[in-house]
Structures are given as structure tokens and as C-alpha cells.
Chains A and B, each alone.
Chain A
């Protein structure tokens, strides 16, 4: 057993996703606390070429699991790498791919599972994690039981850790052993690209989100302009995605993305609990809604009662004017 901290690092087009850099920062922090190394389990398009570059983010070693295939197919190789090293913890992003890989480790290795967590630390030689459960109505702290196998597998919400920029160095890269586990039998039978480029909302620090009240795909044009003025990205509630006004990749909430931007500005979103669990940890929440009793008014920091079609264009102009 070691005090190393492993983390899953997803790559796209040869570069680490933001989640990988956040978890690198988190893993380095926990590894420093326990006196171990930070080790990446790298996968995705271009992971083999990009893995060494994780050294600039405090990573000592990187194990390359594989290139472009369904994430779950890398689970068995990750389980072997983890079993060999028996680190203190493995961090995984709380995304669909991250959850598939975490679940593979838990099931293959019979390991304790935590999360999705909003904080994680090492206390008395074990992982201690903090989680909001029951739609955020209670905050629980959890630990592995005495004698539980190592590592603890921890799902980590986006923006729990802040990437450390400006480092240098190179990680030692090794290739994971091949596996014939049944998980490797999942294959991509068809691949469909969207017509327009879709932003990764988990990387946005400012999000302008629209809901049912936006009324149409054209209505989202106004939100696009406001987002551009603020330097942010556009997101949506499930109602807006179901209506086809935006692609599902932009859906925020229980069954979409869970985001934690510094500013979350919503327009025409009532704020049902299923939406709230996707954005309630945003640092600042501004909500524009014509219904003075909309639930979002209860948890927004600033609640603006009014017609979004009148306010949003004027706000866009005002922000452009102030930014010069």
C-alpha cells in the first residue's frame, strides 16, 4: 500500500480536459498531505502523446489506458494499475465517463466509493469526503470503514479544485496492460457529429442559462449575445433542451451537466429542484423571471422580476458599454 493519489485524466484532441487539470491539482494537494506521489490514469484521444505534459501540473507518473474508445473499456486496465500500486485514493470526475470508470474500479476491486463530493481531504491516514445528499438538504462526511481495502474511489464535482498553471516538468509515462475483460466488448457502432460546435459547459466560469421562458431557439440568440458580452457560455434547463432549442450537451441539472461557475445568470428558468442540483454551488446566482414567486427566487443571490425579452438586450448593451 502507498500514500499515492491516482486520478482519471480524460484527453480530447491531444489535450487534457479541464476536469483532468482540476483533479491533478486536487490529487497533488492530497498526495502532499500524505507524502505520496500524484499519478494520472490517462485516456481519450491523444492521451499517449499528451500524458507526459501532465508533469507541469504536479503529476509524477502517468499510466496511459487507451486512446479513442468508450471510457468503460479502460476500466479493467485502470483496475490492474490501481491494484498494483494500492494508492490511498483514486479521484474521478463526476461526469458520465468518470462515473463509468469509477464504477468499474469499485466492482472489479471491491473498493469503497464516495461522492459526488464537494470536498475531500486526508484525515488520520484515510480519505474523508464531504457530500450534499437528498437534493442538498443535508451535508454528510464519510470515511472508509476500519480495514476497508485501499484505495477509496472518489467522484469529484467540477470546480472542486482549481487547476495549477505555469508549472514545468514531465511525467514518467507507461502503457497499461491490455485486458480481455467483458467491459472491453463495448464498441462504438455509429458515431454522429453535431452540426455546430458544442462548448463544454464544465469549463465555463460564466454561464447564461435559459429555460422554458425563453420560448424558442431564436430567443436563445439574445442569451448568446449576453453570454458573449460577459465572456461566458450559454446553458439551458431540461425544458429548453427537450424543446430542441439547444443541444442536450448544454443541459444543466440532475440529468445534464453539474456546473459551478463564478456567475450563473438565468433567464426564464423557474428553478425546479432537478435544475437546482446542477447549479446550486455556483458562486453568484442572478435570476431573471417574470413570475415573482418562481422557486429560483428563493435561492438566487439577485432575483430580478421582469420580462427577460426587455431586460436581457438592455443588459447586454449596458455591459458592452461598461466594458468599452
Chain B
């Protein structure tokens, strides 16, 4: 039983973000981390490994050369090996492109479960896992607050509108988990040292048998404009007043905006 956790390197959530003159993110000057929501997928996979439910945990990422750092950090948390898909033709990849490439890489790695975080911190579309499942002709088990493995099946505990369900499908599957699986572990010093010796492969698009025609020029979408968000009016403050006065002033404020 083998899990491949797909991870994405993203700009640090709270990092000061700088933009080039054409309003593209200046990634070179921005601290990069493992997408925080992918760390929950790593944690879920490692818990199943710790429990003996799976035999191996591998990592897969698509990105520039420096995404190897994110894979090393994942390996420091645990697991066995990692693969980076990197290719100059992938700059500007959109969700469809990413799904196409990850699906081809997962076809080669052939895990029982391809596991992903519920969303990426930077774009938040959450479409890649389902599109990967579609491309690989596998069931999708998404938004699990827990992933469990049964006899030839996997299941996720998923929040519903009024409670929760356990959704089940036959293996192999593509699955995603939420931040409810439990807090991701920290990498120990021993883990960080061990990670340096764990195998990491780098694949190009040619290694995946993907040509330019397969990726239709690199993306199906393009960004035509990027601009800073609209400036918000300054915050009004109520402070250094008693609770009665504060309540009156809040009510006045709400009334003047016809909210009560």
C-alpha cells in the first residue's frame, strides 16, 4: 500500500509580497514554503504510515528547481522518497496544465492513494485534485477530515450540510484532506539530517512522455491584467469608552447604514 502526497511550493502566507513592474509576484524575493494545507495531507499520510496501514509514503511536486526545497522539508517530516517535475515549458501553467502533468507523473508512480491538500494558499481554486482523478480515470474522495483505508477501499469523513458522511470508493483513488486531520508534525533535527539522504528524482516533461501538443502551448487560460485591490476607507475606532456608550455608538453606526 503506497501513498504519494502531492505538494506545492507557495509564497509564505504572511510574507511581504513584492511585485515586479508588470504586477507579477516577484517570487525570487518572496520566502517560499510548503503550501500550509498540503502539510495536513503529509500529516495524514504519515499517520497511516505510523499505524502500519501503508508501507510507503512518497512526495510529488511540480514547480521550478527550488521546489526541491519543499520536497526536502516534507521528507524531513517523514516518508521515503520524492519526485520533482520541472521543465521550463511549465512556467505559467494553469490548473488544467498542472492536473495534466501531475496525472502523467502519478501514472508512472502508480500509488494506491494520491493524496493532496484541500486547496493551495495562493490561488485557492481546489480544482487540481478532481481534474487529476478525471484524467487518471479514478474515483475522487475529497475534503476528508480523516482518511481511512479498508479492504480494497479508502474512505474519507466529510462534513455535510447537516452533519457528516463517510464517503467510500475502491482503490486506487485520488483523495484530499482538510485542516481537520490534526496538526502537522514538526521536522526533528534527526528528520532533517535523514532527509538529505532520501532519494529524490527530477523528471522533465519528456520523461513523462508529454510533448508540447499535449499541453496546448502551456495553459488554457491567461492573465490579462493584474492590479492592487481597491483601497478601503480608513477604519473608524471606538475606544476608551464604557460598554453602554460603546453599545450606543455601535447601534448609531449600524442605524446610519440602515443595517438595523
Show the binding face of A for B, using Cβ within 8 Å: 12, 70, 72, 75, 96, 99-100, 102-104, 106-108, 110-116, 128, 132-145, 148-149, 153, 155, 181-183, 185-194, 197-198, 200, 206, 230, 238, 248-249, 254-255, 262-263, 273-274, 277, 284, 286, 292, 297-307, 310-311, 314-315, 317-319, 322-323
Contacts and interface: CB of A to CB of B under 8 A. Distances in A.
A107 B238 contact: no
A106 B131 contact: yes
B221 A112 contact: yes
A298 B134 CA distance: 42
Size range of the chain B interface in the assembly: 35 or more
Interface in B127-182: 127-135, 137-143, 145, 155, 158-170, 178-180
A197 B162 contact: yes
B99 interface: yes
Contacts of B124: 116, 133, 254, 277
A187 B168 contact: yes
Nearest to A310: B243
A92 to B, nearest CB: 10
Contacts of B142: 72, 96, 99-100
A48 B138 CA distance: 27
B186 interface: no
A281 to B, nearest CB: 10
Contact of A318 (B121, B127, B165, B251): B251
B254 A299 contact: no
B208 interface: no
Interface on chain A toward B: helix, strand, loop, or mixed SS? Answer: mixed
A303 B239 CA distance: 8
Contacts of B169: 185-187
Given A100-B130, A255-B118, A314-B243, A263 B259 contact: yes
Nearest to B40: A255
B137 to A, nearest CB: 5
10 nearest A-B pairs in the assembled complex, by CB-CB distance = A103-B130, A107-B134, A107-B131, A112-B220, A305-B239, A314-B247, A310-B243, A141-B225, A189-B168, A190-B166
Contacts of A133: 122-124
Nearest to A136: B229
Nearest to A298: B235
B220 A145 contact: yes
29 contacts: A96-B159, A103-B131, A103-B140, A106-B95, A106-B134, A107-B130, A107-B131, A115-B125, A133-B122, A137-B228, A138-B227, A141-B224, A182-B137, A183-B140, A185-B169, A186-B140, A189-B165, A191-B165, A249-B161, A255-B118, A273-B13, A304-B239, A304-B250, A305-B237, A305-B240, A306-B243, A307-B243, A314-B244, A322-B251
Contacts of B119: 254-255
Interface of B: 11, 13-14, 17, 19, 23, 25, 37, 94-96, 99-100, 103, 118-119, 121-135, 137-143, 145, 155, 158-170, 178-180, 216-217, 219-229, 232-233, 235-241, 243-244, 246-251, 253-255, 257, 259-260
A103 B257 contact: no
A208 to B, nearest CB: 12
B235 A311 contact: no
Given A197-B162, A249-B161, A319-B251, A301 B236 contact: yes
Nearest to A299: B232
Most buried by A among B122, B125, B168, B235: B125
B163 A230 contact: no
Given A107-B135, A188-B165, A306-B246, A262 B129 contact: no
Given A144-B220, A302-B250, A104 B235 contact: no
A50 to B, nearest CB: 16
B162 A319 contact: no
B179 A255 contact: yes
Nearest to A306: B246
A110 to B, nearest CB: 7
Contact of A113 (B94, B224, B260): B94
Nearest to A12: B161
Contacts of A187: 167-169
Contacts of A104: 130-131, 134, 140
A28 to B, nearest CB: 24
A132 B229 contact: yes
A54 B121 CA distance: 35
B180 to A, nearest CB: 7
A185 B170 CA distance: 7
